[in-house]
Chain A
Amino acid sequence: MRTTLLIAVIGLLACPQFSRARDYTVSVCGTGHVVAQREYDPLSSDDALGLAHVELGLELEEVLPGLSLEIAWESGIHNGNLFPKDDPWLHTDLLMHGIVLSAAYRLPVTEWMNAVGRVGGTLDFAELQIREDGDTLLSDWANARLGVQGVIGVEIFTPRNLLRKWFKQNPGDPDEGFTVGLRFEVGWSYKQAFVYDEMNEPAPEDEEIAKRQITRTPIDLGGIHLDGFIFRAGLVVFF
C-alpha cells in the first residue's frame, strides 16, 4: 500500500506537465479529533485530541481543474490524568506524529470563498507514556498505522483583485495568484489501532547501566483506535 502510494506520487511528479509553474498552497492549522472509542477513556477525560497540521498543496489542473495533491505533517501531544480522584498523580501523554497525503478538490463559490473536499491516507506513529510526576513509569511507541480521512469545508480568503489593488497591481484572474485566508473543515478520520503491547520503563540513557539491568518483561496495555469526527481550522496561503 505504502509502496504503491509512493510510486504514484513519484510517477505524477515525473510527468512532463508537472514541470510547469503551478499554484500551490501552504496551510498551518489546528486539527481537533473527537475520539469516542472507549479505549481512549483511560487517556482522556474529554474525548479530545488536538494536533498541529502543516500542509503543502500542489495544484493538478492538468488532471482536473480544482484538484490538488496535498501532503501534511500532523503532530501533537495529549495529556491526561488517570485515576486522579482529588489529587492527580498519574499522567498519560499520547504523542502523535503523522503524515497525511490527500487529494483536495476546490470549487470556487465566490471570489472570496472556495468549497473544499479532501480525501486522504494517513500514516501515524504514536508514543504512549505513563508518568508519575516527573518519572516515566511506562512508555512504548506504536508502529506506524495507516488510516484514511475525509473532510469537507470552506476556504475564506481575501479576494485576489482586492489584494492586487492594495499592492497597486493590475487586476488579474480572480481564481489564481497569491492570497491569504482561513480554512474551516469537518470530517471523519479512521486509523488502524495503535497497539501498546511492549510497555516498559524507559531504559537508562547510559548504555552500560542499561546493559546491566535485570531483564524487563513488557506489559501489554492493549490497543487503541483513534477514529472519529475531526474539525480543522487555520491559515491558508495561496501562491
Chain B
Amino acid sequence: MHRIIVLILAGALLTNCGGRRDVYEDDLATIGPFPINGALGYINRSLADLVCLRVTPDGVRSERAYLRPGPREIIEVNDKSQLAVLHDDQQRPGVALLGATGLREMGWIPLGEQFDRLALAPSTRYAVAYFSPAAGQSAGIRNLNQVQVVDFQSVAAHTPLALQTGGLSPLGVDFLPEGSGNFDNLAVIRVDNGLVILDMENPGAQPLWVRFTNTPGGLAQPAEVVFGSFFGDGGYIFVRLEGGSDVLSIRLTRDQSGALQRSINFLNVPAGGHPSDLLVLRGAGFEDKVFVVYGTSSGGAAILDANAIVTDEMAFDFDIPVNAARRLLGPDGVKEFVAVYHTNTISGKIYVVDPKTGDTETVHLQDAFNRVAGPLDSSFLVAFHPKLGQTSTPGLRVVRMVTLETSGRYSHRIATYSVEQILSSYTFGVDGISMLGALSTSEVSFVLDLQTGEYQSMRLDKAPIGVGLVPASNWAYFQHANPLGSLTFVPTDGFDRQHAVMLEGFVLEGLLDPR
C-alpha cells in the first residue's frame, strides 16, 4: 500500500514541477508603435507577440497574435492587405506574412541571414532586408554588407547579395517613386563609397554599382539621394556626398536587353560652396533639374541642370547662411515654391524662392528658430522658436502662402503662438492643414488648424512623450512613458477628454494565455 502512495505522490510531483520559461526571466523588449492601417502595432519581442490596437467607431480594441521567435519589424505589404513581420531569430530568420485582419500567418519567407531592417518599396510588393550597424553585436562573424530582396507577392526572397564595400553596413535604402515607368521597383542602396542599384523585379540581373572616388580628405559617403522624374527611357538620381563640393547626377537608362545603364555628371555648385541639401521640384520644366542649397561665407542656392548645362542654371544669393530647403506650394496647391533657411538661425529669416521666375521673398520671423517643419506638399511652414521676443517663452510661427486679392501676387501670412515649452512632440495631419502637438510639462495636447489658426487643447492624464496619427483613421495618439505601453487615443474631430480613450499595459495583452 505504502508503495502505491509513494508512486502516486512521486507522479504528482513530477507532473507539477516544470521550470519557468526563459522568456519571463529575460528583460522585456518591446518595439513600436508601428502605424498599420487603422491600427497601431506593438511587438513584444520577449514573448514574440504582436499587439494591435485598432480604432473602431466604438473606441479602441486590442488584438494579439502569436509570432515566431525574434520579431523585429512590421510593415504593411501587398497593397496593405497583409502585414510582413521580419524575424531575426538565430535558428530561423525570415519574414512572416500575416493577414491584415485576423492576424493569422499566411506565408513564410525564409531569409539567408538574420537581417534586422526591412525597407519597403512604394509598390508594397518588394522590400530590401539589410543589417543595421548594431546587428554585429549578437553574432560570431558576419558580413553586415549583405542585402536580400523579398517579394511579398510571390512569397519568396531573392538570393542574398553580399556587397563588397569597406563600410560596416549599408547606410540606407531608397526607392524610386511609384510612377517611374520602367524604373519602378528599383532599390538604391547607399554604401560607404557608392550606390548599388538593384532591379527588384529581376532577381537574375546583376546589381548596378556606382562607385565614388574617395577624396584625399575622406570617404565619398553618399549623404543624400533624391530622384528626379523618371519617364520614357530614363531619369536622374542626384547624390550629395558628405563634405563634397559637387552634386552627382546619375542618368539611369536601360539598354535593349533591359539591363540598367548609367552615366555620371558632376554638377558644380557656384562660388565653391558645399552643398547641404537637395530638393527635387515636381513642376513642368524641372524634370532634369535639382535645387541645391549650399553654404559659402553667406548662403546660396541654385537650380542645377542634370546634364550640367550651365546656361540653364539659376542661382540665388542670400544675406545669411542657409543649409536646408523645403518644397512649399501656393494656396492653389499647384504653384511651387522653395523655402530656404538655416535650421538653426538667429536671424529669423526664411527665403521663399519662386523657381520659375527666380523671385525671392524674405519672410521675417523676428525671432531665432531652431527647426522648420510642415505638412508635406502643403502651403504651410512651421518655425520653432526657443524664445519669443524679449521673453523666455518658446513659440511657434506658422507661415502660410497666400494669394493677394488686389494684385493676384503670391505672398505670405504669419501667425504666432506661444507654447509653455519647446515643442518636441508634434506631427502634421494627412489633410495637410492640421498640426498636433503635446507638451510634457503641463500634459496639454493640442490640434492646431494651420489654415484658420483655430486650436483646441486638451489636458491628458499623463505627460506625453510622443504624438502620431493612426493611419486611415481620424484618430491621433499620444504616447506616455510606461514600459508596458501607455497611449491616449483621441479623435481629431472630437478633440476633448470625453472622446479620449486611454490604454495602459497593453504590451502584456494575453500574458496569461497558454503559449
**What residues of chain A have their CB less than 8 Å away from a CB belonging to chain B?**
34-39, 41-47, 82-86, 89-90, 130, 132, 137-138, 152, 186, 188, 196, 199-201, 212-217, 219-224, 228-229
CB distance from B50 to the nearest CB of A (A): 15
**Within 8 Å CB of B62, what residues of A?**
217, 219-220
Selected from B15, B28, B509, the residue in CB contact (under 8 A) with A219 is: B509
Decide if B501 touches A214 in the complex (CB within 8 Å): yes
**Within 8 Å CB of A46, what residues of B?**
20
* Bound Cα distance from A126 to B19, whole angstroms: 23
* Bound Cα distance from A216 to B167, whole angstroms: 48
Given contacts A85-B25, A229-B12, contact A220 B510 (CB under 8 A): yes
Given contacts A44-B20, A82-B24, contact A214 B508 (CB under 8 A): no
Decide if A229 touches B511 in the complex (CB within 8 Å): no
A39-B514, A137-B505, A214-B497 are known; give 17 further A-B pairs, CB within 8 A.
Answer: A38-B515, A41-B24, A45-B24, A85-B27, A130-B508, A138-B484, A152-B5, A196-B512, A214-B488, A214-B500, A216-B502, A217-B60, A217-B61, A217-B502, A219-B62, A221-B512, A228-B16
Selected from A41, A137, A196, the residue in CB contact (under 8 A) with B482 is: A137
Those of B416-457 within 8 Å (CB) of chain A = none
**Within 8 Å CB of B500, what residues of A?**
214-215
CB distance from B128 to the nearest CB of A (A): 33
**Within 8 Å CB of B18, what residues of A?**
36, 38, 47
Selected from B5, B27, B512, the residue in CB contact (under 8 A) with A42 is: B512
Selected from A44, A219, A229, the residue in CB contact (under 8 A) with B508 is: A219
Is B503 an interface residue, CB under 8 A from the partner?
yes
**Within 8 Å CB of A224, what residues of B?**
512
Sorted nearest first, the 6 A-B pairs with minimum C-beta distance are A222-B512, A222-B513, A85-B27, A83-B28, A36-B16, A34-B16
Is B506 an interface residue, CB under 8 A from the partner?
yes
**Within 8 Å CB of B16, what residues of A?**
34-36, 47, 228-229
CB distance from A214 to the nearest CB of B (A): 5
Q: Which of B15, B46, B60, B504 has the most CB of A within 10 A?
A: B504
Given contacts A38-B514, A38-B515, A196-B512, contact A219 B25 (CB under 8 A): no
* Bound Cα distance from A212 to B443, whole angstroms: 15
**Within 8 Å CB of B502, what residues of A?**
214-217
* Bound Cα distance from A41 to B18, whole angstroms: 9
Given contacts A39-B512, A219-B509, contact A47 B17 (CB under 8 A): yes
CB distance from B513 to the nearest CB of A (A): 4
**Within 8 Å CB of A130, what residues of B?**
484, 505, 508
CB distance from A3 to the nearest CB of B (A): 30
**Within 8 Å CB of B497, what residues of A?**
212, 214
Is B303 an interface residue, CB under 8 A from the partner?
no
CB distance from B506 to the nearest CB of A (A): 5
* Bound Cα distance from A90 to B9, whole angstroms: 35
**What residues of chain B have their CB less than 8 Å away from a CB belonging to chain A?**
5, 9, 12-13, 15-18, 20-21, 24-28, 46, 59-62, 460-461, 482-484, 488, 497, 500-506, 508-515
**Within 8 Å CB of A221, what residues of B?**
508-512
Given contacts A44-B20, A46-B20, A82-B24, contact A229 B512 (CB under 8 A): no
Give 26 pairs: A residue, B residue, CB < 8 Å, sorted on A: A36-B18, A38-B514, A39-B512, A39-B514, A41-B21, A41-B24, A45-B24, A47-B16, A83-B24, A83-B25, A137-B482, A138-B505, A152-B5, A196-B512, A213-B461, A214-B497, A215-B59, A216-B501, A216-B503, A217-B60, A220-B509, A221-B510, A222-B510, A228-B16, A229-B12, A229-B15
* Bound Cα distance from A214 to B13, whole angstroms: 48
* Bound Cα distance from A65 to B312, whole angstroms: 113
CB distance from A28 to the nearest CB of B (A): 24
* Bound Cα distance from A220 to B501, whole angstroms: 16
* Bound Cα distance from A170 to B224, whole angstroms: 104
**Within 8 Å CB of B61, what residues of A?**
217
* Bound Cα distance from A42 to B20, whole angstroms: 8
**Within 8 Å CB of B511, what residues of A?**
42, 221-222
CB distance from A215 to the nearest CB of B (A): 5
Decide if A42 touches B59 in the complex (CB within 8 Å): no
**Within 8 Å CB of B506, what residues of A?**
219
**Within 8 Å CB of A85, what residues of B?**
25-27
* Bound Cα distance from A47 to B503, whole angstroms: 30
Decide if B15 touches A36 in the complex (CB within 8 Å): yes
**Within 8 Å CB of A47, what residues of B?**
16-18, 20
**Within 8 Å CB of A219, what residues of B?**
62, 503-506, 508-509
CB distance from B410 to the nearest CB of A (A): 43
CB distance from B85 to the nearest CB of A (A): 21
Given contacts A137-B482, A222-B510, contact A199 B505 (CB under 8 A): yes
CB distance from B52 to the nearest CB of A (A): 13
* Bound Cα distance from A86 to B12, whole angstroms: 33
Given contacts A38-B515, A223-B512, contact A217 B503 (CB under 8 A): yes
Decide if A36 touches B24 in the complex (CB within 8 Å): no
**Within 8 Å CB of A217, what residues of B?**
59-62, 501-503
**Within 8 Å CB of A37, what residues of B?**
514
Decide if B483 touches A90 in the complex (CB within 8 Å): yes
CB distance from A78 to the nearest CB of B (A): 13
**Within 8 Å CB of B484, what residues of A?**
90, 130, 137-138
Given contacts A34-B16, A42-B512, A222-B513, contact A138 B504 (CB under 8 A): yes
**Within 8 Å CB of A86, what residues of B?**
27
- Chain A, residue nearest B51 (CB): A219
Given contacts A138-B484, A217-B59, A222-B513, contact A34 B17 (CB under 8 A): yes
* Bound Cα distance from A114 to B120, whole angstroms: 74
CB distance from B26 to the nearest CB of A (A): 6
* Bound Cα distance from A39 to B24, whole angstroms: 11
